[in-house]
Amino acid sequence: MSTRDRILDAAAEIMRTDGIARATTKEIAARAGYSEATLYKHFTDKPEIFVAVLRERLPQLSEVLRLLHARVGQSSVRRNLEGAVAAALAFYDESFPMAAGVFSERRLLEAHRAGIRRLGTGPEHVNRELGAYLRAEQEQGRISRDADPEAVASLLFGACLQRSFLRHFSGEPAPEEFATTASTLVRIVITGIESER
**What's the average model confidence in pLDDT over 20-34?**
90
Q: Pick the residue with more confidence: 148 or 113?
A: 148
Average pLDDT taken over every residue of the chain: 89
DSSP letter for 23, please.
-
Tell me the residue range of the domain where 30 lies. 1-45
Q: What is the DSSP string of 176-189?
A: S--HHHHHHHHHHH
Same domain for 93 and 179?
Answer: yes
Same domain for 164 and 93?
Answer: yes
Print burial letters for 123-157: b (CB count within 10 Å at least 16), e (below 16).
Answer: eeebbebbbbbbbbbbeeeebeeeeebeebbeebb
What's residue 18's pLDDT?
Answer: 84
Same domain for 94 and 12?
Answer: no
Domain assignment present for 53: no
What's residue 99's pLDDT?
Answer: 80
Cα–Cα distance, 125 to 62 (Å, whole number): 9
In this model, does residue 186 exceed pLDDT 70? Answer: yes
87, 161 in Cβ contact below 8 A?
A: no
What's residue 133's pLDDT?
Answer: 96
What's residue 196's pLDDT?
Answer: 60
Q: Give the CATH number, domain containing residue 40.
A: 1.10.10.60
Q: Pick the residue with more confidence: 178 or 196?
A: 178
Same domain for 28 and 86?
Answer: no
Task: Provide the pLDDT confidence category of residue 193 given band limits of 50, 70 and 90.
Answer: low
Q: What percent of the chain has pLDDT over 90?
A: 58
What's residue 53's pLDDT?
Answer: 85
Q: Give the CATH number, domain containing residue 139.
A: 1.10.357.10
What's residue 86's pLDDT?
Answer: 96
Please, which residues have CB within 8 angstroms of residue 168's CB and are 6 or more apart in sequence? 93, 96, 97, 100
In this model, does residue 162 exceed pLDDT 70? Answer: yes
Q: Which pTM does this prediction carry?
A: 0.84
Count of domains for the chain: 2
Same domain for 132 and 184?
Answer: yes
| 43-87 per-position pLDDT tens digit | 988 888 888 888 888 778 888 998 999 999 999 999 999 999 999
With CA atoms as reference, report the closest residue to 125 among 91, 78, 83, 77. Answer: 91
**What's the average model confidence in pLDDT over 94-116?**
81
